[in-house]
C-alpha cells in the first residue's frame, strides 16, 4: 500500500469511527427522558454526525497528493475531536443531572473521540506535512 | 494555530523557514516578506483561523461589560453597530492584505514610513498586547478564584501572579502539548457558549425574564459602540496578517466580515445574557452559577492559554521591530513580567470589577482605529491618485517617516478621546467613528494637497534588505 493510500485509509477510518460514535450518541440521546441530557447528546452527536457525513465523501473523492487528502481530514477530525473534549467536560456538569450510567457512557465516548482523534490528527499532519491549523 | 486574543498578530498559519517569492524568510511566517503562492489557503481555512481568534473567554467577557450598560435589545443593537463597523473597517484592510500578500507591519511602511510603521506597530501591537496579556492573566486569576475560593494562593491577585508567570514560561520554552490541546478546544468553545446561553435561559425564567432586564444606569450608545469596536480594534487593523494567506484577494475580507458580524455579535449577546440572567458580576461567575462545572472553567483557561502566549510573542515581535535590540525570547520575559505585574495589581485593586476592562476597551477603540484609517486612505485613494504602487521585496525604497500619516494617526486618536471623554462631536460624537473619520480625512487632505502641489511630504529614504528589513 502506498503512503498516499495508507494516509487516505487512516483518514477515512478515523472519520467513520467518529460518525459511528456520533450516531450512537444521538440514538442514546433520543431515548432519554431527562430533556437536558437528551438535548446535550443530540447536539454533540449531531455536530459530529453532520461534520463526518459532510467530510467523508470529500476525503473519499480525493485522489491527488497527500496534502489534498489531509486538509479536509484534519478539518473534520478537528471538530469531532473537540466535541470529544466536550463529552468529557459536560458529563460531570451539575446542570445536566446525568445518571451515573449516562455519565460513564459519555466519558467513554468522549475519551475515545479525544484520544483517537488526537492520534489521527497528529499522524495525518506528520505524514502529509500539513500543519494542524488548516 | 490559534491566534491571539482579540488583538495579537496570528501565528496560526505557521510555515517552515524557506525562501519566499523574493528575499529570505529569516524570521518565519513571512514576517517581513510577501506570502508566496504555494502557501495560499482557502477562504474556509482563513475563516477558521479568524474563528480561532474569537474563541477566547474575553469575547464573551466583553458581553458582560455590555450587560452592565444596556438592556438586552440595546445590547444587540450596539453589538451589531460596532461589529458592522469592524466588518467594514477590517474587511477593507483584509482586502489590502489579500491583494499585496503583505502583513500589517509591511503595509504600514507606505502610509507611515519605516519609522512610522514601527510607531504604528507599537500602537497596534506593542503596548496593547502587553495589556491584553494582563487582561487574560487577570481572567485566569479570576477563574481560578471562582473554582477554588478561600485560599491565599487562589486569590485573584495571587493566581494572576503565578498564572502570568506560568503562561510566560510556556511562551518562553514552548510546550507543544498545550498548544495542541488549546487548538482542540476551539470548536467546542462555541458549543459550550451556546449551551451556557440556553442553560441560563432554562434556569432563570426564560426569554421573558431576559427581555425584561434593565441595567440600573444605562450608558450612552456611543460609548458601547466604541467599546465593542475597541475590544477587537487591534484585530481589525491586523486582519491582513491572516488575509494575506487567502487564495483569492477577497478571501480574508469575506471571512473576517462574516465571522465578526455574525459570531462576534452572538458571543457578545450570549455573554451579556448569561450575566444578566444569573445576576453575576461577570460571565465566569455566571458559567459557574449555571452549573456548567469545573471542567468548563478549566476549558476556558486552557483555550486561552496559547492565545496569551501569542500575545506575548506578537508584542515581542513589535518591540524588536521598534528597538532592533534583544531577542524575541528576551522580549517575551520582559513583556511577560510587566503584563503579569499589571494583572496582579489589577486583580488586587479591582477584584472582579468590569470597570477597568470597559475603560481599556474604550481607549483601544479611540487610539487604534486611526492607524487602519490611514492605511485604507493611502491604499485605496492616495496611492492611486499619486500613482504609487504597494510593492515589497529587496531593493524597494520607502520613506523613513510619512508626516501626514503620523499626524493623522495622532490627531485621529485625540479626536476619538475628545469625543468619548469630552462629548465633542467630531463629527458624530462616537469615539471610534470620529477617530476614523478625522484620521482618514486629515490624511487625504494633507497627502493629496501636498502631493499635487509637488511638495515632498515623506522624510528620508530606506532601502529594503534581502531579509525584508
- In angstroms, the CA A48 to CA B37 distance is 33
Cβ–Cβ under 8 Å, residues A12 and A56: yes
Mean confidence (pLDDT) of chain A? 93
Task: Please write the tens of the pLDDT for every residue from B100-141.
Answer: 999 888 899 999 998 899 889 888 888 998 998 999 899 899
**What is the reported pLDDT for B19?**
42
**What is the reported pLDDT for B338?**
96
Whether residue B20 is predicted with pLDDT greater than 50 in this model: the reply is no
Whether residue B192 is predicted with pLDDT greater than 60 in this model: the reply is yes
Mean pLDDT of B360-369: 90
Does the distance separating the beta carbons of A43 and B195 come in below 8 Å?
Answer: yes
Mean pLDDT of B252-272: 95
Chain A residue numbers with beta carbons less than 8 Å from the beta carbon of B186 are 78, 82
Chain A residues at the B interface, defined by Cβ less than 8 Å, are 36, 39-40, 43-44, 47, 71, 75, 78-79, 81-83, 85-86, 88-90, 92-95, 114, 117-118, 121-122, 131-134
- In angstroms, the CA B462 to CA B141 distance is 45
**What is the reported pLDDT for B308?**
85
Higher pLDDT, B331 or B328: B331
Chain B residue numbers with beta carbons less than 8 Å from the beta carbon of A92 are 293-295
Mean confidence (pLDDT) of chain B? 87
Nearest residue on chain A to B295, judged by CA atoms? A89
Mean pLDDT of B70-75: 94
Least confident of A87-91, B8-12, B435-439: B8-12
**What is the reported pLDDT for A90?**
94
Whether residue B5 is predicted with pLDDT greater than 50 in this model: the reply is no
Does the distance separating the beta carbons of B291 and A95 come in below 8 Å?
Answer: yes
Higher pLDDT, A124 or B181: A124
**What is the reported pLDDT for B449?**
95
Whether residue B331 is predicted with pLDDT greater than 70 in this model: the reply is yes
Residue A42 Cα, gap to closest chain B Cα (Å)? 12
Does the distance separating the beta carbons of A85 and B192 come in below 8 Å?
Answer: no
Annotate B324-369 with DSSP letters as a single string. --S-HHHHHHHHHHHHHHHHHHHHHHHTT-SHHHHHHHHHHHHHSH
Does the distance separating the beta carbons of A95 and B203 come in below 8 Å?
Answer: yes
**What is the reported pLDDT for B105?**
84
pLDDT band at A36 (very low <50, low <70, confident <90, very high): very high
Least confident of A23-32, B6-15, B61-70, B402-411: B6-15
Which one of B41, B185, B294 has the shortest CB-CB distance to A82?
A: B185
Chain A residue numbers with beta carbons less than 8 Å from the beta carbon of B290 are 95
Burial of B186 (0-12, 13-18, 19+ CB in 10 A): buried
**What is the reported pLDDT for B9?**
37
Which one of B180, B188, B291 has the shortest CB-CB distance to A94?
A: B291
Task: Please tell me what DSSP assigns to residue B213.
Answer: -
**What is the reported pLDDT for A12?**
96
Whether residue B15 is predicted with pLDDT greater than 70 in this model: the reply is no
Share of chain B above pLDDT 70, in %: 93
pLDDT band at B425 (very low <50, low <70, confident <90, very high): confident
Whether residue B444 is predicted with pLDDT greater than 60 in this model: the reply is yes
Does the distance separating the beta carbons of B291 and A131 come in below 8 Å?
Answer: no
Does the distance separating the beta carbons of A118 and B192 come in below 8 Å?
Answer: no
pLDDT band at B367 (very low <50, low <70, confident <90, very high): very high
Chain B residues at the A interface, defined by Cβ less than 8 Å, are 1-2, 12-15, 41, 44-45, 48-49, 52, 180, 183-188, 191-192, 195, 198-199, 202-203, 290-296, 298-299
Count the neighbouring beta carbons within 10 Å of the beta carbon of residue A65.
Answer: 11
Annotate B430-469 with DSSP letters as a single string. -HHHHHHHHHHHHHHHHHHHHHHTT---EE--EE--TT--
pLDDT band at B18 (very low <50, low <70, confident <90, very high): very low
Share of chain B above pLDDT 90, in %: 46
Pick the CATH number of B41-363 from 1.10.150.20, 3.30.300.90, 1.10.4160.10, 1.10.10.410: 1.10.4160.10
**What is the reported pLDDT for B277?**
92
Higher pLDDT, A29 or B5: A29
Task: Please write the tens of the pLDDT for every residue from A51-69.
Answer: 999 999 999 998 878 888 9
| Chain B interface disruption, residue of A48, A73, A77, A89, most B CBs within 10 A | A89
Higher pLDDT, B403 or B392: B403
**What is the reported pLDDT for A46?**
97
Does the distance separating the beta carbons of A89 and B188 come in below 8 Å?
Answer: yes
Does the distance separating the beta carbons of A90 and B292 come in below 8 Å?
Answer: yes
- pTM given for the model: 0.86
pLDDT band at B400 (very low <50, low <70, confident <90, very high): very high
Chain B residue numbers with beta carbons less than 8 Å from the beta carbon of A79 are 187
Does the distance separating the beta carbons of B295 and A95 come in below 8 Å?
Answer: no
pLDDT band at B29 (very low <50, low <70, confident <90, very high): low
Share of chain A above pLDDT 90, in %: 84
Question: B427 preceded by cis ω (within 30°)?
Answer: yes
| Coil, helix or strand at residue A96 | helix
pLDDT band at B27 (very low <50, low <70, confident <90, very high): low
**What is the reported pLDDT for B333?**
94
Does the distance separating the beta carbons of B299 and A95 come in below 8 Å?
Answer: no
Positions of E strands within B76-226: none
Which one of B13, B199, B299 has the shortest CB-CB distance to A133?
A: B13
| Chain A interface disruption, residue of B55, B204, B295, B296, most A CBs within 10 A | B295
Count the neighbouring beta carbons within 10 Å of the beta carbon of residue B281.
Answer: 17
Q: Mutual orientation of helices A66-90 and A3-30 as an angle, nearest 10°?
A: 30
Amino acid at each position: 500500500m502506498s503512503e498516499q493510500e495508507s494516509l487516505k485509509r487512516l483518514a477515512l477510518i478515523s472519520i467513520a469511527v467518529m460518525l459511528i460514535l456520533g450516531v450512537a450518541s444521538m440514538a442514546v440521546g433520543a431515548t432519554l427522558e431527562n430533556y437536558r441530557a437528551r438535548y446535550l447528546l443530540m447536539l454533540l452527536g449531531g455536530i459530529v454526525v453532520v461534520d463526518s457525513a459532510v467530510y467523508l465523501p470529500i476525503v473519499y473523492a480525493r485522489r491527488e497528493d497527500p496534502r489534498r487528502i489531509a486538509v479536509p481530514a484534519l478539518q473534520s477530525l478537528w471538530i469531532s475531536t473537540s466535541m470529544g473534549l466536550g463529552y468529557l467536560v459536560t458529563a460531570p456538569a451539575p446542570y445536566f443531572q446525568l445518571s451515573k450510567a449516562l455519565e460513564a457512557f459519555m466519558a467513554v465516548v468522549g475519551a475515545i473521540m479525544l484520544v483517537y482523534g488526537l492520534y489521527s490528527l497528529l499522524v495525518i499532519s506528520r505524514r502529509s506535512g500539513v500543519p494542524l491549523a488548516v | 494555530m490559534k491566534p491571539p486574543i482579540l488583538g495579537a498578530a496570528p501565528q496560526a498559519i505557521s510555515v517552515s523557514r524557506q525562501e519566499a517569492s523574493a528575499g529570505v524568510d529569516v524570521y518565519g511566517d513571512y514576517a517581513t516578506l510577501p506570502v508566496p503562492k504555494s502557501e495560499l489557503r482557502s477562504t474556509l481555512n482563513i475563516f477558521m483561523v479568524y474563528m480561532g481568534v474569537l474563541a477566547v473567554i474575553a469575547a464573551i467577557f466583553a458581553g458582560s461589560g455590555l450587560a452592565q450598560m444596556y438592556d438586552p435589545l440595546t445590547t444587540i443593537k450596539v453589538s451589531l453597530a460596532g461589529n458592522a463597523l469592524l466588518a467594514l473597517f477590517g474587511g477593507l484592510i483584509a482586502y489590502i492584505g489579500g491583494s499585496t500578500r503583505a502583513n500589517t507591519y509591511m503595509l504600514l511602511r507606505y502610509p507611515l514610513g519605516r519609522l512610522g510603521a514601527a510607531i504604528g506597530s507599537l500602537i497596534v501591537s506593542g503596548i496593547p498586547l502587553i495589556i491584553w496579556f494582563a487582561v487574560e492573566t487577570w481572567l485566569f486569576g479570576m477563574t481560578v478564584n471562582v473554582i477554588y475560593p478561600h485560599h491565599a494562593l487562589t486569590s485573584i491577585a495571587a493566581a494572576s501572579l503565578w498564572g502570568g508567570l506560568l503562561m510566560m514560561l510556556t511562551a518562553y520554552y514552548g510546550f507543544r502539548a498545550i498548544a495542541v490541546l488549546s487548538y482542540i478546544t476551539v470548536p467546542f468553545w462555541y458549543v459550550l457558549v451556546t449551551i451556557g446561553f440556553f442553560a441560563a435561559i432554562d434556569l432563570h425564567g426564560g426569554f421573558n425574564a431576559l427581555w425584561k432586564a434593565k441595567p440600573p444606569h444605562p450608558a450612552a450608545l456611543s460609548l458601547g459602540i466604541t467599546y465593542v469596536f475597541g475590544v477587537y480594534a487591534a484585530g481589525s487593523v491586523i486582519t491582513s496578517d491572516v488575509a494575506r494567506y487567502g487564495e483569492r484577494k477577497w478571501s480574508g475580507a469575506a471571512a473576517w466580515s462574516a465571522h465578526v458580524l455574525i459570531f462576534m455579535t452572538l458571543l457578545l449577546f450570549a455573554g451579556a445574557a448569561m450575566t444578566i440572567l444569573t445576576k453575576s458580576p461577570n460571565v465566569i461567575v455566571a458559567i459557574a452559577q449555571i452549573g456548567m462545572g469545573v471542567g468548563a472553567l478549566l476549558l476556558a483557561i486552557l483555550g486561552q492559554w496559547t492565545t496569551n502566549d501569542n500575545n506575548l510573542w506578537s508584542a515581542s515581535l513589535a518591540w524588536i521591530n521598534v528597538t532592533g535590540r534583544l531577542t524575541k525570547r528576551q522580549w517575551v520575559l520582559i513583556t511577560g513580567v510587566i503584563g503579569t505585574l499589571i494583572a496582579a495589581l489589577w486583580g488586587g485593586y479591582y477584584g472582579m470589577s468590569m470597570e477597568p476592562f470597559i475603560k481599556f476597551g474604550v481607549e483601544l477603540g479611540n487610539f487604534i482605529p486611526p492607524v487602519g484609517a490611514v492605511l485604507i486612505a493611502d491604499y485605496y485613494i492616495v496611492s492611486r491618485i499619486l500613482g504609487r504602487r504597494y510593492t515589497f521585496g529587496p531593493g524597494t525604497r520607502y520613506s523613513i517617516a510619512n508626516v501626514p500619516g503620523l499626524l493623522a494617526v495622532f490627531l485621529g486618536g485625540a479626536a476619538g478621546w475628545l469625543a468619548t471623554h469630552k462629548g465633542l462631536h467630531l463629527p458624530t460624537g462616537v469615539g471610534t467613528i470620529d477617530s476614523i473619520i478625522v484620521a482618514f480625512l486629515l490624511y487625504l487632505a494633507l497627502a493629496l494637497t501636498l502631493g499635487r502641489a509637488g511638495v515632498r511630504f515623506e522624510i528620508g529614504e530606506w532601502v529594503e534588505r534581502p531579509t525584508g528589513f
